[in-house]
Amino acid sequence: MKFTPAPPNDFPEFIETYFERCRARAPQIEGIAGKWTLEDLIPGLSDFDVRFIVAEPLSARQWCEMSMQVARVHLELAQQRKDWARTLEHLPGVNLSWSELLDPQNYYPEFAQWSFYHGPKEKLAAVEKMISARAWDESETAYHWKKIAVYYGPYDRTIDVPINLGVYENKYPLHSRLMHYFAPPVHSLVCLKEGKTEAGKIEAFRRAAEIFPNRNTMQEVLRLIEMHYEAPEYLAEPGQTTLENKLETYLRDAVNEILPRQNWLRCAPNPSAGELKTAVREASGPPQISQMFELVKFARLMQGRLWFYAQEVSWFDSLPLIRNEMSRMRANFLEQPLQIFAKYHLGKSLSADECLSELEGDLLSREEVAACRSFAEIADPATPDAELKARAAKIVEIYQPFLAAMEAVVRAAG
């Protein structure tokens, strides 16, 4: 098996270029952050999960205008820098104003996993102070156990399609397995063990090598990352299965290590994946009103993301990316927020469509309700591949009144 050596790490150049170009188009952008740390961005293989911070809270119309400006920058860079295709897979996910970010009621444990790269020094210092002063509480515990439950159990090799990787594609199975599907639960296990949330995946691997059983496995993981996954013995059978079994065992033993001290969670040792998911779900209880904002804040720049994915760039494969969004958009952006709102504010158990009927003419306009219903119809997880780009373009057309409706529901929830 032939490997292309790791390219130079140009993530700092990308982050600065992307930030400055987006700010030129959308001056309300003041800060840029990314999930995890710069060390965790593996050249040639990692994408970059951008988070933008804007000066003041924006209306749905302003979020949509900003998202389209950002999307045009995204498209221009994709056309100009073929080598950045992998880096450019995602437009910004969570997007907030400084006041929203600093509001204790909006605190989201993921904030502690962000690295802030550019922005006003005094505002960045205030964010750092807020995050460092945050006391560990049940929300942190629940967040990390939910994360572990998502990744715990046998690995599905078909879950992460290798796209936009060019000459590094043959290394991707190891990168995906270690950094996308092993690092998150290990990171959460370390946070639970130490009672604090830190930012880095690789640093979590180092800490895990010191505090959990099976240290040789973790040392091997760190070695593979260091060598840019140039390990053919783990990219074919039987080594691939051997490694997957070691990683599954590692998670099981680490979970067993911390379970006895987790009064929050009623779960027997050596749980199956299903047993752990059930225990976490039961311990978490029903969705809370705060989760509405957690869901909708991911929707703010989705119009631009879908517009970009619907464009034709010959060396950029977007179909799996649209499929990924289609698999979760309707539930995350529409159904769950409306069902939570109905339960806590209307005192009823309603479907999303029933809730829309209750809100039409009062909280929501006829146009907004129609946009929500169109969104529910178009954002179908069962959409055939041949229709994905067309569906993405249709969502772009109705997205502003849809987002306006969901932002209004979140505001009404208080």
How do residues 22-74 score in pLDDT, each as one tens digit? Answer: 999 999 999 999 999 999 999 999 999 999 999 999 999 999 999 999 999 99
Domain boundary among 262, 284, 306: 284
Helix (H) or strand (E) holding 62: helix 60-80
Task: Looking at the structure, tell me whether residues 80 and 179 fall in a common domain.
Answer: no
pLDDT at 286: 83
Measure the CA–CA gap between 398 and 375, rounded to whole angstroms: 7
Q: What mean pLDDT do residues 284-303 have? A: 90
Q: Angle at Cα 234 formed by Cα 231 and Cα 239, nearest 5°?
A: 140
Task: Looking at the structure, tell me whether residues 195 and 324 fall in a common domain.
Answer: no
Domain boundary among 265, 284, 303: 284
Task: Looking at the structure, tell me whether residues 279 and 144 fall in a common domain.
Answer: yes
Task: Looking at the structure, tell me whether residues 147 and 280 fall in a common domain.
Answer: yes
Instruction: For residue 339, give Cα distances in angstroms to 105, 346, 372.
Output: 21, 10, 14
Q: What CATH number did the domain enclosing 121 receive?
A: 3.30.460
Per-residue model confidence as pLDDT tens digits over 192-249:
999 999 999 999 999 999 999 999 999 999 999 999 999 999 999 999 999 999 999 9
Task: Looking at the structure, tell me whether residues 244 and 122 fall in a common domain.
Answer: no
Give the count of domains, the chain. 3
Which token pair is 28? Answer: 């309300």
Q: Name residue 228's beta-bridge partners.
A: none
Measure the CA–CA gap between 138 and 147, rounded to whole angstroms: 14
Instruction: For residue 42, give Cα distances in angstroms to 11, 30, 52, 229, 319.
Output: 9, 26, 21, 10, 23
Residue type, 119: G
> What 3-state class would DSSP assign to 30?
strand
Task: Looking at the structure, tell me whether residues 130 and 144 fall in a common domain.
Answer: no
Domain span holding position 153: 138-284
Which token pair is 92? Answer: 């910004």
pLDDT at 288: 85
pLDDT at 263: 83
Measure the CA–CA gap between 69 and 42, rounded to whole angstroms: 28
φ/ψ (deg, to 5) at 52: -100, 145
Domain boundary among 284, 300, 319: 284
pLDDT, the chain, mean: 96
